Chains A and B, each alone.
Chain A
Amino acid sequence: MALCTNYKTRKLKDQLVSLWIRFMVLLVVALPLIIAFSLFYKSWLILGHSSLSELLFSSVWRPLAGKFGFFPFIISSVWVTFIGLMLTAPICLLSAIFLTYYGSRHLLRFMQPVIDILAGIPSVIYGVWGILVIVPAVGKYLAPMFGYESSGFSIMAGGIVLSVMLIPFVLNILIEIFRTVHHDLFDASLSLGATKWQTIKHVVLRKSFAGIVSAFGLGLSRAFGETIAVLMVVGNVVGVPENLFQPGYPLPALIANNYGEMLSIPMFDSALMFAALLLMVVVVVFNIISRRTIIYLESKH
């Protein structure tokens, strides 16, 4: 009898847990939709007020006059992201190749914590470093080198800081991708008389091309949403920058600097939510495409 009730409570517990699990699975799967929907709901007001093309392509940003053109912010985001990726790409590619194909196991064992710590450092710390090192360097040396006058707080500084933050993120993905290239293929090329580098250039890079693009796609989506570090060094001046040594004002910085303070103007509130929605859509789209590609490649492997 005792055994029987014991069994019953165990069974009941198990069923309760199953219910809890179902609830959670549903919640997790629905969460991105919930977030997207609530942002969409909040940006409804601005979408009714201005057309989408006006929001995306107008450069007139006068919230108090009801003019919300996001173009300066979008173009700043694009520039910062672009510079970040351009600077990070060669370092990540070369390092990933070296660590996968040239370095000894000891080197990898030494480098893994280095990469992990780079990945773990909070973005506000990169921001402080950017203010201490990168901003003065850009203002004093880099900008004059190209013949520009700059305070240092600029698109360029944002891009440089961003590129450092992207390194560990992209590098880890690239190493994973190079590992999926089968070593038989490597052997085949070598035995035809290719050197290691020729093999990498003609075979490995070609074989993993889609994966490399996806890695940078994920990097792009990470870069596009990076907020604080970029905000701290980018200058935050509204306007379409004429050159890379001028200040910019990326979308995440716009949200971070203004949100919660302008609630008295509903339209402004809604505009910022629209910015968040825009950010989310770009990030998620790039994420989905890149991840799908990587999953596809891994399943083929």
Chain B
Amino acid sequence: MWWRKLEEKIVYLLMVISVASLVILLLAVLISIFVKGTPYLSWEMVSQTPKGGYYFGREGGVLNAIVGSLYLSFGAVFLSLIFSLPLSLAMNIHLRARPKIVNRIRFVLDILWGIPSIVYGAFGFTIMIYLGIKASLLAGIITVGLFIMPIMVRGMDEVMKNVPVSLIESAISLGSTRMEVAFKVMVRQTIPGIVTAILLAFGRGIGDVASVLFTTGYTDNVPTSITQQTATLPLAVFFQLGSPIPEVQNRAYASALILTVIILIISIAVRFLSNKYYSNRH
């Protein structure tokens, strides 16, 4: 029997190590980003655009990337929302009586979710050329919007499918049209979940490189129209880290830190919202 006890103890130890390693890995990533980035984070860094070219200029900051990222992500989220919200509402109101179709849509969405962002990037580029659009904020918004759409729909769908049918039926029996049910009942009922889905999609969108690599171009300036090229934070990390000039590399580390902080804020907000949603329901 002793070996059975020993096996048990060894496995338990390994399991504890595995779980601990999750925390350690997270801390390791965060600490290395913070340690490397914090010294270069200054007012100049967040308030100025790079001077003398992002790849060679030693002066200036990454304002172009910060603003560019925000423009891009908000644009993409907005574009995606126009499709995602009605679609998820439809899946859970109009199509509720037809679970086969809904499940098929869910399946396709999951497949879309699984397609790597580099493929979206290549696809976006093809579309761009086909439509004759140049690399620009607009092209980036379209590509990222497509790429985060399945994330957003599935996120909203996940909360909407828990709304009881009886609630929808009673609203309909009071004489509401389905659209009124959608916006007056469903959206109101699930608003924290919807916001969570939007935040998650925003986080995905703001952090991705591969989808914007060919579609947004890159510039030292803050874009003033959607037809101009734009920088983004992940691109700023990616491009500037490759530079041989230390000051430029420092800008990359600072950008990485800013991006990480944005992601952390989103994570906290999501956690806060989902706790709230959870406690509301119980």
Contacts and interface: CB of A to CB of B under 8 A. Distances in A.
**A–B interface present (Cβ within 8 A):** yes
Interface of A: 10-11, 13-14, 17-18, 20-21, 24-25, 27-29, 31-32, 35, 38-39, 42, 90-92, 94-95, 97-99, 102-103, 107, 111, 113-118, 120-129, 131-133, 164, 167, 171, 195, 197-198, 218, 221-222, 224-228, 232, 252, 255-256, 259-260, 272-273, 276, 279-280, 283-284, 287-288, 291, 295
Interface in B7-29: 7-8, 11-12, 14-19, 21-23, 25-26, 28-29
Given A13-B179, A28-B112, A121 B260 contact: yes
Contact of A129 (B28, B109, B115, B206): B28
Contacts of A195: 4, 8
Give the interface SS of chain A, mostly helix, strand, loop or mixed: helix
Given A13-B179, A14-B178, A125-B259, A29 B104 contact: yes
A10 B153 CA distance: 26
Contacts of B206: 122
A256 B90 CA distance: 37
B56 interface: no
Interface string B102-120: 0011011111101111111
A279 B118 contact: yes
Given A39-B126, A227-B209, A284 B115 contact: yes
A225 B119 contact: yes
Contacts of A218: 114
Given A28-B105, A273-B126, A132 B32 contact: yes
Contacts of B226: none
15 contacts: A25-B90, A38-B126, A111-B22, A116-B270, A116-B271, A127-B238, A129-B32, A167-B22, A167-B25, A198-B4, A222-B114, A260-B125, A283-B115, A291-B111, A295-B107
B40 interface: no
B15 A95 contact: yes
Contacts of A131: 241
A259 B95 CA distance: 41
Given A10-B177, A218-B114, A94 B22 contact: no
Given A133-B28, A295-B107, 20 more contacts: A13-B179, A17-B178, A21-B94, A28-B149, A35-B115, A91-B22, A94-B15, A98-B19, A114-B26, A117-B267, A121-B263, A124-B237, A125-B29, A126-B29, A256-B210, A259-B122, A272-B122, A280-B119, A283-B114, A284-B111
Nearest to B242: A232
Interface of B: 4, 7-8, 11-12, 14-19, 21-23, 25-26, 28-29, 32-33, 36, 83, 86-87, 90, 94-95, 101, 104-105, 107-112, 114-123, 125-127, 135, 146, 149, 153, 177-180, 182, 200, 203, 206-210, 213-214, 234, 237-238, 241, 252-253, 256, 259-260, 263-264, 266-267, 270-271
A117 B10 CA distance: 29
Contacts of B123: 35, 38-39, 276
Nearest to A286: B114
A164 B23 CA distance: 12
Contacts of A288: 111
Contact of A120 (B23, B149, B203): B203
A124 B119 contact: no
B115 A225 contact: yes
A253 B4 CA distance: 47
Given A102-B15, A122-B208, A128 B115 contact: no
Given A125-B256, A252-B116, A32 B111 contact: yes
B115 A98 contact: no
Sorted nearest first, the 9 A-B pairs with minimum C-beta distance are A225-B116, A122-B207, A94-B18, A98-B15, A21-B90, A260-B214, A287-B114, A276-B122, A227-B210
Contact of B32 (A111, A133, A284): A133
Nearest to B93: A21
A122 B263 contact: yes
B256 A17 contact: no
Contact of A280 (B25, B26, B115, B253): B115
Nearest to A133: B32
Contact of A124 (B107, B207, B271): B207
B263 A32 contact: no
A102 B115 contact: no
B202 to A, nearest CB: 11
Given A25-B90, A256-B213, A95 B29 contact: no
Contacts of A103: 19
A259 B212 CA distance: 12
Contacts of B16: 98
A118 B23 CA distance: 9
B118 A227 contact: yes
Contacts of B120: 35
A103 B28 CA distance: 23
A227 B116 contact: yes
A276 B124 CA distance: 12
